[in-house]
Every structure is written in structure tokens, then in C-alpha cells.
Amino acid sequence: MKAIPYGKQHITDEDIKAVVETLQSELLTQGPKIAEFEKAFAEYIGCKYALAVSNGTAALHLCSMALDIDENTNVITSPITFAASANCVRYCGGNVFFADIDPITFTLDIKKAEELILSKPKGFFHGIIPVDFAGYAVNLEAFKKLADEHGLWIIEDACHAPGGFFIDSNNHKQNCGNSHYADLAIFSFHPVKHIACGEGGMVTTNDEKLYKKLLMLRTHGITKDPELMYEKHGGWYYEMQILGYNYRLTDFQAALGLSQLKRADEGLKRRRAIASTYFEAFKNNPQILGQSGVVDGHAYHLYIINTAKRKELYDYLRTKQIFCQVHYIPVHTFPYYQKLGCKKGDFPIAEKYYDECLSLPVYPTLSKEDQQFVIEKVIEFFK
């Protein structure tokens, strides 16, 4: 019996060829493939600037530094996300505040976020990090309105949602990460994501000033631009002007990302078809309390069902070699954040969601036969 994971990369002969060609080229890092990947990704998302980095967490950290987060900065995010969405604020010494999630979308509840903002003195909060959780596109137009009312910036965590979108009040399609309503957005190219580079990430923005700052922060805070340097000693000279990090992506990873990007829409179409099949299979099952469903613009990095018998179902499916996953343990319940003052019971909707959620297999190469096997075993368990 073969194993069926919850997520899986899809590497083709074209991908391998692209990587090998780059490995045989003159430059393995800081070469032409980086700029090529950045340009293609910016065009795909629909933003002015894209900056390739070593992973999604590095992307979040760079955004936090570019926005000058420090110990006096207070930021709101969702408790249902990977820990990095909150940790990036802590890396810079900032303070993380959570607001509960919407029980239908599983994303940050804008009403709860607004209640939190209004519970503190004016100017207390500085930013919001909404997450396009599982691939569901957050309505950033609404968050932008809230942010503007209170003088806040926005980082969109779009790691789950390349190709995702929402429709704004002007009936315009807004792609996740296009930074039309956010100051910055970030993506991840981990193997289970839509675009796989092994590891890798991207920051997108329409703000030239932030982009130029990110460029320096990505490479130790160093510049070789003669127009920016304080002194000029010769062609070898460079200056470290701010404290940055080595968060560069390699050229062979960028080559893989470029190759994967060419079939991103094809993979997205398949993910949406898988989601539709799950929805139809489970929509009349009373023991499945909720599911990701069929949603316009959803990118379906994950397909989630909710059941009161989550652990039992998880364990049963593993006996059938179906390796589902749980996304995510609420960040505020981790010992680290409890030491900072968070506690269980703070966000009841997020905690109820965690008790019931299970991510089913969803990836472009999941065959119809394998998906049907998953469906049959889920139904068999409840019977």
C-alpha cells in the first residue's frame, strides 16, 4: 500500500533540466536567474517589485526590519498560522497581539481585530499581519480601510496563496500579494507550496523606498551603488550602511522556481478541482462539521475538514497510509507565547477550530484514484 501525504512537490524533467543548466553556468548565486525569477513572479502576481529570498520566514523578517519594528512596536496577527507570522515581529523586539479567527474562513476576523485596536489607546498599534490561510484570500480592501483609520501598515502573509484572489468593491480582481492594499506581502517556496524551490521565499511590494531598503537588508546591509555610498575608493569598494542578513536565494533555486512558475496556473486548476471533489463528497455528511468548500479565488494550499472526532480520524487514516496533517496549533498556546502573557482560552474560536481541523491530501499530482481512496476511507471511518 503506497503512502498518500497531505502535500507533495511536483518535479518534472523540465525542472531538472533548468536546474542542471544553471549548475553548469558561470554563477550559482547572485547571478541572472534571480532577477529573471523576480521579474516573472512580479508579473504573475501583478506588483511592481519582487525580491527573492532564502525562505518565507526570511521574507517576514526582512519586512519587519524594513518597517522599523522595534520594542515599541505592537502588531496584530492571527493565532491560526505558522509561528513565523508572529515570530518575525519578535525577531525585531516587537510585541505580538492576537485576534480571534472567523469561524467560516479560518482567517483573521476583522471585527475582532478592530475590537482589539479600539481596546487600546490611540496610536498603540502599528501594524497588522493578515494571513491568506490555507489559500483563502483575505479581503485586504477592508483591512486597508481599518489600517488607514488607525495609521497602521499591513504585511500580507500570502505563503499559501500564489494565484489566489478576491474581488474588491469596484469589482476588480485583486491577486494575493499584489500589494495593492498591503505595504508588503510575502510568499514561501517550500516543497509543499504551489511553487517549490526546495527552500525559498519572495517579498512583493509597490513601494520603491521599501524595495530599495529590502535589497540592502537581504545582503548584510551592504550596497555597491555609487549614488548611495558615502565614500568612493574604487571598483572593489562597497559599504555596509545598515545591519542586514544573508537572506539570498541561489540561482539554481531560482531556476527551479522559474520552471515551476510556468505551470503554476495548471497546478492551481488541479487544486481547485480536488477541492470541488472533496466538497461534493462530504457536503451531506453530518459528522463533518465544516470544510474548506468551493470558494472563488481560493488557492487551496490546504483542504480542511472539521470533525469532533479529529484525532480518531487522523489515527485511522494513518493505518490506511493516508498521512493527513493538522494546520495549525494556535500560536498563542505555545509555551514561548504563554511566557509572554498569552494563555489557553484567550481565543475560543481558534482553539475550537484546532480541536476539529484536519488537512486532507491536496496537491496537483494527487490522482483521481488516490483522492477517491481518501474519500472512501473518511466515509468508512464515520460509518
> What burial letters (b/e) apply to 294-325, b meaning 16+ CB within 10 Å?
ebebbbbbbbbbbbebbeebbebbeebebebb
Residue 333 phi, psi (nearest 5): -90, -5
pLDDT for 189 equals 98
Q: Where residue 367 sits, what CATH number does that domain have?
A: 3.90.1150.10
Residue 313 structural domain: 264-382
Within this chain, do residues 226 and 137 fall inside the same structural domain, yes or no?
Answer: yes
Residue 147 sits in the same domain as residue 63: yes
pLDDT tens per residue across span 113-171: 999 999 999 999 999 999 999 999 999 999 999 999 999 999 999 999 999 999 999 99
User: What is the DSSP annotation of 218-271?
Assistant: HBTTEE--TTT-S----TT--EE-S---B-PPBHHHHHHHHHHHTTHHHHHHHH
pLDDT the model gives residue 308: 98
What backbone torsions phi and psi does residue 209 show, to the nearest 5 degrees?
A: -65, -45
What span, in angstroms and rounded, lies between the C-alpha atoms of 159 and 55? 10
What's the grid cell of residue 126?
502599528
Same domain, 115 and 185: yes
Of 261, 295, 330, the residue at which a domain comes to its end is 261
Last residue of a domain, one of 230, 261, 292: 261
Q: Specify the pLDDT at position 53.
A: 98
| Domain boundary pick from 261, 283, 304 | 261
Mean pLDDT score of the chain, rounded to an integer?
Answer: 97
DSSP 3-state of 18: helix
* Longest CA pairwise span in the chain (Å): 77
pTM for the whole structure: 0.97
Tell whether 227 and 285 lie within a shared domain.
no
pLDDT in tens, 2-24: 999 999 999 999 999 999 999 99
Percent of the chain's residues with pLDDT above 70: 100
Residue 183 in this model has a pLDDT that exceeds 90: yes
Q: Specify whether 156 is located in the same domain as 230.
A: yes
Which residues, in sequence order, are CB contacts of 75 under 8 Å at separation 6+? Answer: 69, 89, 94, 95, 96, 97, 125, 126, 127, 128, 129
Above 80 in pLDDT, residue 37? yes
What's residue 1's pLDDT? 72
Mean pLDDT of the region 324-347: 98
Extract the C-alpha cell encoding 248: 539570498
pLDDT band at 287 (very low <50, low <70, confident <90, very high): very high
Residues 290 and 373 reside in one and the same domain: yes
Task: Tell me: do 219 and 345 sit in the same domain.
Answer: no
Please report the DSSP string for 197-215 in residue order. Answer: -SS-EEEEES-HHHHHHHH
